[in-house]
Amino acid sequence: MTEIVETKRDRIARRQVDKFDARRKELAIATLHTLADLGYARTSLREIAQNSEYSHGVLHYYFADKRELITEAVRQYEAICVTRYDDVVARVTSTEQLRREFTAVFCSTMETDAALHRLWYDLRNQSLFDESFRKDVLEIDERREAMIWRVVSRYAELADTEPACSPATAYAALDGVFQRALLCALSGLDSTVAALDEEIPRLLDLLVIGK
């Protein structure tokens, strides 16, 4: 009898935890654009509440501070974004097609989600100063690295060759280009962003052997 009671209590406790976690995710996603607009330095739970439909009390109940909310928001966003190139990888049948379609997605997401990408880089920069961010940032970075490696591996396969570098190097190369291009896009330097149409295919060639 005691075991049955304990089992019921465990199930209820798990349901409560699951509901709490689900609500945290919901709030993080709902406030994501507010976070992206304000950035880390200008953000507090109270400011986020003032710019969203949720009260400060509700946000504070689910998140101890802005660090928790920002980390959860970026994690939820990246959970979707780390698959952004998977459709391209799955359907392409030639190196030319992969270059063309990868470059198109690479550039379009910079335009459509610039503020959200900016929030990610803001969080990653903060992790250099605030150790409490680092575990989460490293986990997200690993998933982004794996996303890029799927592209590079498929490109090498289609070219009947092998990658010329490690996954970390491939990610650093493409992410570095993306971050600089994002800065140019936010600064109105459209010609620099437009040049990616030619630069990204050349960079892909450099990331595999014999291209």
Query: What pLDDT was estimated at residue 138?
Result: 94
Residue 107 belongs to a domain with what CATH number? 1.10.357.10
pTM across the whole model: 0.83
Per-residue pLDDT tens over the stretch 112-151? 889 889 989 998 999 999 898 899 999 999 999 999 999 9
* Any domain includes 52: yes
| Sole residue written with tokens 């798990």 | 14
Domain count across the chain: 1
Distance CA 85, CA 77 (A): 15
Q: How many beta carbons lie within 10 A of that of residue 186, not counting itself?
A: 14
Distance CA 126, CA 17 (A): 29
Q: Which amino acid is at 14?
A: R
* Any domain includes 211: no
**Average pLDDT, 10 consecutive residues per value, the chain (211 residues):** 58 69 86 84 82 85 88 86 92 96 93 89 91 91 96 97 97 96 90 89 94 54
Query: What pLDDT was estimated at residue 8?
Result: 54
Question: Which long-range contacts link 132-140 to residues 24+ away (Cβ below 8 Å)?
Answer: 132/67, 133/67, 133/71, 136/71, 136/74, 136/75, 140/74, 140/75, 140/78
Distance CA 167, CA 82 (A): 15
* Any domain includes 87: yes
